[in-house]
Amino acid sequence: MKKLLTSMSLTGLLIMAIGFTSCKGKLKDADIKTAIEAALKADPMAAGTMVEVKDGVATLTGECKDEMCKNLCAEIAGKVKGVKSVVNNCSVAPPPAAPVINPEDDVLTKALTDALKDHAGMGFAVKEGKIVLTGEIAKAKWAMLKQTLDKLKSKGYDLTGLTIK
């Protein structure tokens, strides 16, 4: 019995010793990864960034909304214990497209006058930034006219009174 206990405790010691040596050497990549992920998640700006760890080198991927956010992610990851270096492969999202600038009604009316000069029989008006067209027009001419009118960047069209022949 005593012998058995001794051998058990020895085995236990041995297991512990193995455990300790592996801990002492370096942190496992998977553990580092988990730690980085937790750290990134804690910051709302950095959440959504993905990380892979190999031999202590953390590689960040994903999309950041700006350069500041990208740098922040690298900073967070770099502070995690066991990280030797950080490769920052995060991309920065393109800035959101600028809003469409719609022209004033009188500017639009003048441009419409120009565009519709050669289309006798068509009526037009501008109503709250929208182009209102009435009358009849041949398909081929309308296809050409619409291309020209789309350059005016109106707030859309009211074409309920327009007939395409």
Partner 1 sequence: MALQDKYQELITAATASAVNNLQVREQDGVLYIDGEAPDGKTKDMLWAVYDKLDPNFLSGDLVMNINVAVSAPVTRAKVTTERSNLNIRKGPGTDQPIVGKAAHHEVVTVVSQSSDLWWLIRTADGEEGYAYAQYLTPES
* Contact footprint for partner 1 (CB under 8 A): 97, 99-100, 110-111, 113-115, 117, 130-131, 139, 142-144, 146-148, 150-151, 153-159, 162, 164
* Smaller CB separation from partner 1, 83 or 132: 132
Least distance from partner 1 to the Cβ atom of residue 159, Å: 5
For residues 24 and 20, what is the distance between their CA atoms, to the nearest angstrom?
A: 6
Give 102-111 contacts, CB < 8 A, sequence gap 24+.
102/129, 102/153, 102/154, 102/155, 103/129, 103/152, 103/153, 103/154, 105/129, 108/152, 108/154, 111/152
* Smaller CB separation from partner 1, 27 or 115: 115
* Smaller CB separation from partner 1, 91 or 163: 163
List Cβ neighbours of 5 (8 Å cut-off, separation of 6 or more): none
Least distance from partner 1 to the Cβ atom of residue 64, Å: 22
Least distance from partner 1 to the Cβ atom of residue 96, Å: 9
